[in-house]
Chains A and B, each alone.
Chain A
Amino acid sequence: EAGVVQSPRYKIIEKKQPVAFWCNPISGHNTLYWYRQNLGQGPELLIRYENEEAVDDSQLPKDRFSAERLKGVDSTLKIQPAELGDSAVYLCASRPHGGTGELFFGEGSRLTVL
C-alpha cells in the first residue's frame, strides 16, 4: 500500500511567486495535517483536517497561505505570494480518523525562496 504521497519534493522559486504543494494521504485516512519544519527545528502545525473540514487552522498565516481538501481525500497547500521566510520543508501527515490511530508522514516538500 502506498504511504502518504507529496509533491513536489523540491521547489525553488523567487520571492513574491506563488507555490502549491499537494498531498495524497493513505487511503481511508480521514485526518490530514500540514506541518512546516524549519531547519533544525520541530514541525509546526499549519492546519488539520477531519475529512474536508479544517478543524484547526489557527496557526495558518491566512494572509498568504491557503489550503483545501475539497473531497476529503487529497489536499493542496498554497502560498501566494511567497516570502524568504517561507523557505522550509512542508510535511503532510495522515491518520485514520478523529486524530487517532497510527500517524504516517509523507517525504515532505522542500521549498527554497530566493
Chain B
Amino acid sequence: KNEVEQSPQNLTAQEGEFITINCSYSVGISALHWLQQHPGGGIVSLFMLSSGKKKHGRLIATINIQEKHSSLHITASHPRDSAVYICVLGGGADGLTFGKGTHLIIQP
C-alpha cells in the first residue's frame, strides 16, 4: 500500500506570503492530484500531475517522480486561499490514496 505524507499539517501565514505544501509518497504512481476544500464546502480539484510542473493563476504544482515528492505553491497568498489542501495519489486498479491534508490559514 502506498503511504502518503503531507507537511505541514497546519500552516498560518500572512497575506502576501509565498506558501509551500509538500507531499511525499512511498511507491511509484501514475498520477497525483491536489485538491482544495473550504470549510463546509465541497472539494475542488486543483491539479492532476504525472510529471513536471503545472501553473494555474497563483497556484503552481510540481512533481519529482524519481524523488516521489510533489509540492503545491501559492504565490501572493490571500485570505480566500484559506482551506484544506489534500494530496491524493494514484488511481487505476489501486484506487486513490488521500493524504491527511494541510490546514492553511491566511491572515489579512
Write the residues of chain A forming the contact surface with B, with a CB cutoff of 8 angstroms. 33, 42-43, 45, 48, 56, 91, 93, 95, 98-108
A42 touches B100 (CB 8 A): yes
Contact check: which of B41, B45, B94 meets A103 at CB < 8 Å? B45
Bitwise, B27-40 to A at CB < 8 A (1) or not (0) is 00011010100000
How many chain B residues touch the partner (CB < 8 A)?
22
List, sorted by A's number, 25 A–B pairs whose CB atoms are closer than 8 Å.
Answer: A33-B96, A42-B86, A42-B98, A42-B99, A45-B95, A45-B96, A48-B95, A91-B42, A91-B43, A99-B92, A99-B94, A99-B96, A100-B31, A100-B91, A101-B91, A102-B48, A103-B45, A103-B88, A104-B45, A105-B43, A105-B45, A106-B42, A107-B41, A107-B42, A108-B43
Smallest distance from the beta carbon of A6 to chain B beta carbons, Å?
Answer: 8
Interface centre among B43, B48, B88, B94 (most CB of A within 10 A): B43
Q: Which residues of B contact A91 (CB under 8 A)?
A: 42-43
Provide the residues of chain A in CB contact with B94, threshold 8 Å.
99
CA–CA, A93 to B92, complex, Å? Answer: 14
Which of B44, B48, B95 is within 8 Å of A105, CB to CB? B44
- Given known contacts A42-B98, A105-B42, A100 and B86 CB-to-CB distance under 8 angstroms: no
Q: Assuming the A-B contacts A42-B86, A42-B101, A45-B96, are A99 and B44 also in contact, with contact meaning beta carbons closer than 8 angstroms in the complex?
A: no
B69-87, CB under 8 A of A: which get 1 and which 0?
Answer: 0000000000000000010
Residue of B nearest to A9 (CB): B42
Residue pair B96, A105 in contact (C-beta under 8 Å): no
- Please name all residues of chain A whose beta carbon is closer than 8 Å to the beta carbon of B96 when the two chains form the complex: 33, 45, 99, 103
Q: Mark interface residues in B2-34 (1 if CB within 8 Å of A CB, else 0).
A: 000000000000000000000000000011010
Interface-centre pick from B42, B88, B91 (highest chain A CB count, 10 A) = B42
